[in-house]
Structure 1
């Protein structure tokens, strides 16, 4: 740690004072850090980060008594440790969010049900009127705009949403009939 301190601080007087502080309060710094984190490497990170913060206040610390220096150093280490814990919590929360949104592999049953539903949808679409087929295929498969679809079926663009709603309902009813029919056979 002493060589690290020497590499961080360029002024020889500051180096000497900071090394003295570190040697005198090293046990205090690690003791405070261990209250918040039992991992030795994390404690070292906490102490190093604390030293970086202390460097900014060397001029003020030189004029203070040892008890004030000790209290300040303990407070800095405590604050750094708490901030690192908060940061770890944020990282864990984000990792949990990401893992929740990861797609999970489908089971064999889910694959079979999806395939059956897809087959039922194809059959249901064939039972719909030409206009309903055009609307559903145009909107959801070909991604046509409402204006284009309105021209194709001969209505106002404002009416396309309602016609799509009716076509979806009709397709769902036909799918349910097909699925019930398969269950009965």
Structure 2
């Protein structure tokens, strides 16, 4: 029973200490925190956290090493510094927008189209397949393809024409999304 009474007296004493600290230093602490943060709401949070730390370490207030206000202002500055560092360590948060497209989209159709194209290319002759690979998959021009394959540019054009025509027959009128392949 005696320990319960002593705890109640201690709690009442702690509450009185925090109340007197706020009454005496609260305005200066809030002004200082507001100046450092530039945000009144954030400054109020800093003042609250400072008073919580004072409540947890009452011996630091009465040890005779400097002024109470100086200790409170130092604690407030440290809290603000910690918050700025923590915020800088995290990537910036971006709010979701209902109109924004999802970052990751389903690529299943592209995989299927790619498989269909690879199977169709396997049905072409080596000469026709080689020209299409150079033009569309390697991104080379007619001149570059001709130099790479060691054939005249006119032959590159002719082989690409007949290769694309053969692909159209293989696909049988199905639409396949090919980047860079004219249909």
Give the structure-1-normalised TM-score: 0.50
Q: Which structure has the bigger radius of gyration? A: 2
- Which position in structure 1 is the counterpart of 2:29? 29
- Which position in structure 1 is the counterpart of 2:152? none
- Which position in structure 1 is the counterpart of 2:40? 40
- Which position in structure 2 is the counterpart of 1:68? 67
Listed as ranges, the matches of 1:58-137 within 5 Å are 58-64=58-64, 68-91=67-90, 93=91, 95=93, 103=103, 119-126=116-123
- Name the SS for the 2:32 alignment partner: helix
Change (3 A) 1:88 1:178: closer
Structure 2: stretches of 5+ with no match in the other structure: 1-9, 95-101, 137-159, 165-180
- Name the SS for the 1:11 alignment partner: helix
CA-based RMSD:
4.0
Q: Which has the higher helix share?
A: 1
- Which position in structure 2 is the counterpart of 1:14? 14
After TM superposition, give the deviation of residue 175 of structure 1 in Å. 5.4
Structure 1: stretches of 5+ with no match in the other structure: 1-9, 97-101, 107-112, 129-171
Give the structure-2-normalised TM-score: 0.50
